[in-house]
Amino acid sequence: MTRRSFIGELLPRSDEERIMASATFVNTFGNGLFSVTSALYFTRIVGVTPLQLGFAFSLAAGIGLAMTLPMGYLSDRVSPKRLNIWLSTMSAFGMATYAMATTYAMFLATALFLAISDQGGRASRNTLIARLGADNKVRFRAYQRAITNLGIALGSLIGGLALAIDKPAVYRGIIVADALTTLAAAQFLRSLPDTPPVKHAQKPKRTEALRDHLYVALTFVNAGLGMHFMLLELVVPLWIVNHTAAPRWVAAGTYLVNTIACVAFTVRVSRGAEDLRGAARLQRSGGMWLAFGALAYASAAWSGSAVTAGLVMLTAAGIHVFGELQQSAASFGIGFNLPPEHLQGQYQGVWSLGWGLMALIGPTWLTYLVFQQGVTGWLILAGQFVLLGLVTPWLVGLAIDARSRAVEVT
């Protein structure tokens, strides 16, 4: 790898990629600000109990899940660029409302409103990338993910200062800043070329993507593999503190390892996912490495040495992120390249449905496995990653054959 080629992969290649990257960075920087301060703000300043907080976010996840398919269908019927601008503006308004929340009812109503705009924004954004990316959809999406990691990481660092100051006015300032960055991201998108809906001779049914059973199956397989995204935020810190001798700061170290690797190597790894069979192979490989990472996390519990346990956890994070890079790249390749171009919105809605289900089920499943079953739970999780990785090439092969037969018939 030359210095020039490595740096080149960290820079946008087209005006569309540059504009989307700018919008993504500004938006995710604000998200990073909010994410590290939100729980303390809602519980200590607004007066929401942890139980109420969990219920609100679970209900919001359910509402967002219900909106996934309608928003995907809408992304095909109207301009995904204009839809995304409109939904981002809605999200900015909703986020600003959080700063004014004084009761649980107001907080809950805002959370549900944001669930609709955020979920719709995700579906329309993926459709927009599919339209703008043309033959480079996978790299385009991978680049946005690298920028997302960078934005969230930097925003989280600044948000940490707000935690140190710990004043209501500062928390509200963070929320207003997040609202403003969301609004600014929407303004960046106005510079993109227009993306009118793709015309098709036959008006598609709203459930056409849902009736593609192989794509739906791959959506659930991908979601099962994608549960690894929750490990660093939800499971690993608690595992370090309660089940290993590693110092607490190692939790931040694992997150740092992940962030640096994702920013630096997401685009490079995505090269292997540019065609469907390559993406399937990458998904299989990613599942294997994720399994190795799960086993490495588990093994840290067997050492009574703080140094050894800490090194094992950091090594496990490195193995984990190697699998994560492959799995996420494969997800872009399969999710974007299997759908018919005129139905990208519908299909991206279905693909997002898998992520929504993962967000709904994943926390309970992962915490049950690791904190109720211990090392055995890590073994079960490793088996889950291996099995789902192995089944992906088979399902993708069936899907390719089915599409070939459909082309021959028409």
In 134-167, alpha helices (H): 137-165
Burial degree of 51 (CB within 10 A; 0-12, 13-18, 19+)? exposed
Cα 22 to Cα 189: distance, rounded to the nearest angstrom: 9
Confidence of residue 12 (pLDDT cuts 50, 70, 90): low
Query: 130 with 234, same domain?
Result: no
**SS3 annotation, 397-408:** HHHHHHHHHHHH
Confidence of residue 201 (pLDDT cuts 50, 70, 90): very low
Based on the structure, what is the number of domains in the chain?
2
Between 320 and 118, whose confidence is greater? 320
Give the residue from 144, 168, 195 where a domain finishes. 195
249: DSSP letter:
T
User: What's the one-letter identity of residue 17?
Assistant: E
Give the residue from 195, 221, 249 where a domain finishes. 195
Query: 189 with 238, same domain?
Result: no
200: DSSP letter:
-
Span of 25-34, 119-128, 186-195, 199-208 with lowest mean pLDDT: 199-208
Query: 217 with 343, same domain?
Result: yes
Residue 9 reports pLDDT greater than 50:
yes
Cα 362 to Cα 395: distance, rounded to the nearest angstrom: 23
Cα 37 to Cα 172: distance, rounded to the nearest angstrom: 10
| Cβ pair 298, 360 in contact under 8 A | no
Span of 3-7, 223-227, 284-288 with lowest mean pLDDT: 3-7
Between 328 and 232, whose confidence is greater? 328
Cα 339 to Cα 334: distance, rounded to the nearest angstrom: 9
Q: Give per-residue pLDDT as tens, 373-391.
A: 999 999 999 999 999 999 9
Query: 149 with 253, same domain?
Result: no
Tokens of 330: 């494969």
Q: How many CB atoms are located within 10 Å of the residue 7 CB?
A: 9
Cα 146 to Cα 139: distance, rounded to the nearest angstrom: 10
Query: Per-residue pLDDT averaged across 256-267, rounded?
Result: 89
Instruction: Determine the pLDDT at residue 206.
Output: 63
3-state secondary structure of 248: coil
Query: 178 with 290, same domain?
Result: no
- Contacting residues for 46 by C-beta, under 8 A, at least 6 apart: 101, 102, 103, 104, 107
Percent with pLDDT over 90 in the chain = 44
Residue 160 belongs to domain spanning: 15-195
Query: 168 with 288, same domain?
Result: no
Please provide the average confidence, as pLDDT, over all residues in the chain.
87
Query: 30 with 141, same domain?
Result: yes
Tokens of 215: 């794509």
Q: Give per-residue pLDDT as tens, 156-186.
A: 888 878 878 888 999 999 999 999 999 999 9
Give the residue from 153, 173, 195 where a domain finishes. 195
Span of 83-87, 319-323, 358-362 with lowest mean pLDDT: 358-362
Residue 409 reports pLDDT greater than 70:
no
Query: Per-residue pLDDT averaged across 95-112, rounded?
Result: 92
Residue 132 reports pLDDT greater than 70:
yes
Query: 161 with 247, same domain?
Result: no
3-state secondary structure of 26: helix
Cα 410 to Cα 262: distance, rounded to the nearest angstrom: 42
Instruction: Determine the pLDDT at residue 203.
Output: 57
Confidence of residue 50 (pLDDT cuts 50, 70, 90): confident
Query: Per-residue pLDDT averaged across 3-10, rounded?
Result: 51
Query: 375 with 258, same domain?
Result: yes
Confidence of residue 352 (pLDDT cuts 50, 70, 90): confident
Between 279 and 274, whose confidence is greater? 279
Confidence of residue 255 (pLDDT cuts 50, 70, 90): confident
Residue 59 reports pLDDT greater than 90:
no
Instruction: Determine the pLDDT at residue 404.
Output: 81
Which of 151, 126, 150 minimizes the C-alpha distance to 137?
Answer: 126
Between 269 and 14, whose confidence is greater? 269
* Sign, CA torsion 305/235/286/271: negative
User: Is residue 301 situated within a structural domain?
Assistant: yes
Instruction: Determine the pLDDT at residue 401.
Output: 92
Phi first, then psi: give them for residue 340, nearest 5 degrees.
Answer: -65, 145
Query: 169 with 272, same domain?
Result: no
Query: 235 with 187, same domain?
Result: no
Phi first, then psi: give them for residue 13, nearest 5 degrees.
Answer: -100, -15
Cα 320 to Cα 209: distance, rounded to the nearest angstrom: 32
In 190-275, alpha helices (H): 213-225, 236-243, 250-270
Between 118 and 228, whose confidence is greater? 228
Span of 120-134, 298-312, 327-341 with lowest mean pLDDT: 120-134
Confidence of residue 119 (pLDDT cuts 50, 70, 90): confident
Cα 381 to Cα 287: distance, rounded to the nearest angstrom: 11
Domain CATH for 145: 1.20.1250.20
- Contacting residues for 362 by C-beta, under 8 A, at least 6 apart: 227, 230
Tokens of 207: 């459930």
